[in-house]
């Protein structure tokens, strides 16, 4: 079935001047491995741009919404809004899964790897909107499809923004006066399905390691293990 990027643009409410930008945002590297003569570009550069645009817009939103909150709190709130789980909710909300160009092998995978691909594609779509229509259009997309889908007030009220990495940092600072650091120990596999192993350190002492399909995921797993090791 041919993918209609005109339909995706209409669905997300953005009238692109250059629709090829949206197509690039939805093109995974694995698709090009099987379609080398397609003339297409994969979405990783656009994801890089979209990640920065998303962070700026969310930071600006939090700065205005919480005038009395400190930098540390707002950093945690931002992490809760832009993590892979939140971006997957955006992908579901806009039906992005139906528009991703993937290799046959990747198309069959419905598990964790697909979640990473979709959350990265959301950032790439934000990058495409920014390139084609500018900051305000990107901000409108994020407001409509992220901030209206994920309730930041509920996150703050129930403290669900305190993920494993945040909890470990709080405990480490409280009990030892140290801020944990994370270092990449190993990267295995091809670019489109790379496995990252990171260590979490207190000073020069490695407390635990974690592995995942993104560095963020590996950090969370390492932090969860470190909490158990330290019995915090």
Is residue 123 part of the annotated active site? The answer reads yes
The residue assigned the tokens 């790379």 is: 194
Strand partners, 196: 187, 212
Is residue 73 part of the annotated active site? The answer reads no
Determine whether 89 is exposed, middle or buried from the number of CB atoms within 10 Å of its CB (0-12, 13-18, 19+): middle
| Dihedrals phi, psi of 83, to nearest 5 degrees | -75, 175
Active-site residue identified among 47, 106, 123, 132: 123
Active-site residue identified among 47, 51, 106, 217: 51
CA 85 to chain centre: 8
The residue assigned the tokens 């930041």 is: 152
Q: In this structure, which long-range contacts are made by residues 211-217, counting pairs with CB atoms below 8 Å and at least 24 apart in sequence?
A: 213/112, 213/113, 213/116, 214/84, 214/116, 215/182, 215/184, 216/83, 216/84, 217/84, 217/116
Active-site residues: which are they?
51, 123
């Amino acid at each position: 079935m041919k993918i209609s990027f005109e339909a995706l643009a209409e669905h997300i409410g953005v009238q692109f001047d250059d629709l090829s930008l949206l197509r690039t945002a939805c093109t995974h590297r694995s698709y090009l491995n099987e379609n080398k003569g397609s003339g297409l570009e994969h979405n990783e550069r656009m994801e890089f741009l979209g990640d920065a645009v998303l962070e700026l817009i969310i930071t600006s939103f939090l700065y205005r919404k919480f005038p009395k909150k400190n930098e540390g709190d707002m950093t945690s709130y931002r992490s809760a809004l832009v993590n892979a789980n939140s971006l997957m909710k955006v992908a579901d909300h806009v039906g992005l899964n139906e528009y991703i160009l993937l290799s046959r092998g990747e198309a069959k995978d419905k598990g964790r790897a697909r979640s990473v691909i979709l959350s990265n594609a959301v950032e790439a779509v934000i990058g495409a909107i920014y390139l084609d229509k500018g900051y305000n259009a990107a901000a409108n997309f994020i407001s409509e499809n992220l901030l209206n889908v994920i309730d930041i007030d509920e996150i703050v009220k129930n403290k669900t923004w305190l993920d494993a990495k945040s909890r470990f940092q709080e405990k480490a600072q409280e009990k030892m006066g140290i801020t944990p650091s994370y270092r990449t120990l190993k990267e295995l596999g091809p670019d489109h399905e790379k496995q990252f192993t990171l260590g979490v350190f207190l000073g020069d002492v490695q407390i635990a390691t974690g592995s995942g399909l993104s560095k963020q995921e590996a950090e969370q797993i390492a932090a969860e293990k470190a909490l158990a090791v330290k019995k915090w």
